[in-house]
Structure 1
Amino acid sequence: MRALGALRETERAITEASEKYMKLSAQDMRALHYLIVAKNRGEVVTPGMLAGFLSISPASTTKLLNRLERGGHVVRRLHPTDRRAFAIEITPGSELSAKRTVGRQHAKRLNAAARLTSDERDTVIRFLRDMAREISITTADWAE
């Protein structure tokens, strides 16, 4: 449990350092991460999709996008197939900064995984999945 706590603390520190480096909030960083993943998948992101992912209102989404656009982190373009909608894209500079910071650190997880044998990886995967099931709020009567 101490090792898991240390991992969570390390991840928290990486997140905080990245937010500070990019001068963005946790919500802003989540939005940029979503845009990077969508871009890598070849998906066009609309404000509504972003609002759904972040679980925020349309008004909050507009404020977030205005802030990110003013900071040079995103651009709004006409949607390529629906001229009534906007497509949101991360700017190349912000994508590079995000990948340089938290992306590079998280990619190093692969180094630790690569050092494990196949059997060790299977054990770790089974443990993590089991722990996720055990602590899931879906089974907590107080989380309804």
Structure 2
Amino acid sequence: MDSATGSGYWYGPDGPLGTPTAVLHALRDYRSAEVATRRSTRDSMGMGETDLLALRYLLRAQASGERVGPKDLSRILGITTASTTSLIDRLVGSGHVRREPHPTDRRSLVIVPTAVTDAEVRATLGAMHGRMLSVAEQLSAEESRIIVGFLRRMAEALEQRPEDHPQP
């Protein structure tokens, strides 16, 4: 369906879309493209969504000098400790991460992505991120300010629970 001409099932009767509805359709189209790209990335790396999310988090943490333990991964990913153990076992087995002793707490471990993982993620996602950055660099400062504000408000709207806004 052409998002500029069809309303879909969610936004009202068929016919020309108003500006707010066109924006929501564009967001849906973006999200669909992002989901397809993530699926392709996961497939090319031979891993699941949670594995890729864990690697992304571990790489960001490593870049900022943060140490990540299994409990941190459980909390960030919203999975049980048993699932986290299985996840780490898979990532260790595939050569994407290492378990290392915590430098200041002998009882703890930290999970560290390997250099191969960093290179693989950069090779797999680098071109896509470059294309996205190129699009963003074409925006004026005012356009950027408006878009960032809009996306932050949309994120807040999605994060609100139904009980935050009782129906009349």
Give the unaligned 5+ runs of structure 2: 1-23
Report deviation, 1:42.
0.5
Q: Secondary structure at the match of 1:136?
A: helix
Report deviation, 1:87.
1.1
Using the size of structure 1 for normalisation, the TM-score is: 0.89
Alignment of 1:1-144 (within 5 A): 1-133=24-156, 135-141=157-163
Report deviation, 1:4.
1.3
Report the Cα distance in structure 2 between the residues aligned to 1:39 and 1:129, rounded to whole angstroms. Answer: 26
**Which structure would you say has the larger RCO, counting Cα contacts within 8 Å and 6 or more residues apart?**
1
| Percent of residue pairs bearing the same amino acid type | 35
The higher radius of gyration belongs to 2
Give the unaligned 5+ runs of structure 1: none
How large is the RMSD of aligned CA atoms in angstroms? 1.9
| 2:7 counterpart residue number | none
Q: Which has the higher helix share?
A: 1
**Structure 2 CA distance for partners of 1:107 and 1:79, relative to 1, 3 Å:** farther
Report deviation, 1:57.
1.5
Report deviation, 1:108.
3.1
Q: Secondary structure at the match of 2:160?
A: helix
Using the size of structure 2 for normalisation, the TM-score is: 0.77
Q: Secondary structure at the match of 1:100?
A: helix
Which portions of structure 1, spanning 4 or more consecutive aligned residues, are displaced by more than 4 angstroms?
Answer: none
How many residues are treated as equivalent by the alignment?
A: 142
Report the Cα distance in structure 1 between the residues aligned to 2:149 and 2:101, rounded to whole angstroms. Answer: 45
